[in-house]
Amino acid sequence: MQVGAGRAGRGLVGAALLAGLLTACSGGADKQSEKQPGTAAGTATAAKTAEAVTKGGTLGPAGSACELPVTFDLAADWKAEAVEALSAGDSEAVADLLRQGPVSAACEVDAKPAGHIGYLRVWTGEPGDDDPRKVLEAFVAAEDGNAQERYRTFAADSGVTGAEVAYQHTNELSGETKQEHAFAVVTGSGPVVVHLGGLDDEEHRGMLPAYELARKSLRTG
């Protein structure tokens, strides 16, 4: 699926630049003392917290902000917007930001209206032979600065199964390291990756319940 830099796509680019600037200026030593690597226990805690998250709508079906090969529930106040197709005037740098490994950005869900600095992003790809774990490994490997990956399988409440990863990402400009999560499934229309970053570890932890809500409620077909 070829997607790219419309208004939401440019929001993705702008958010990436803003995050780099804010991270570089934010008391790095203080934030570093709060960092905790992702663990299965941490994911389980977020999953329990997700039960208390208020549902704000469903993303993916026809008529929603982003029509996708999957559907899942959004936390209240998170605002979704589709990433529009690349245009001839878009630079290679912009195009690179909107592609990562085997998938391209299709939708971004902004957490700012809910009081957090970060995005839940959905990436989609063309049908192929890779399983969810391989798709996720390629997605993580395609971005510089990723390390300490911890993979596991998961099953959504619907019975849909896929792969999930918790890892550390180091910003090459600021040198700051922060936690990130992503999960992947493979559908008849191609692979789908749902990724959660955030400005720093504190913001990431605050957004994990919304991410877990999406994973638990995931449906295909």
pLDDT for residue 34: 35
What's the domain range around 77?
A: 7-25+36-220
Number of independent structural domains in the chain: 1
- Residue 1 is assigned to a structural domain of this protein: no
Positions of the chain with pLDDT under 50: 1-8, 10, 13-50
pLDDT digits (tens, 9 = 90+) for 123-169: 999 999 999 999 999 999 999 999 999 999 999 999 999 999 999 99
Q: Which CATH number covers residue 62? A: 3.40.1000.10
pLDDT for residue 31: 35
- Residue 50 is assigned to a structural domain of this protein: yes
B/e letters for 124-160, b = 16+ CB within 10 Å, e = fewer, are bbeeeebebbbbbbbbbeeeeebeebbeeebebeeeb
- Residue 30 is assigned to a structural domain of this protein: no
- Residue 79 is assigned to a structural domain of this protein: yes
Beta strands in 137-198 (DSSP E): 146-155, 161-170, 177-187, 190-196
- Residue 2 is assigned to a structural domain of this protein: no
- Residue 16 is assigned to a structural domain of this protein: yes
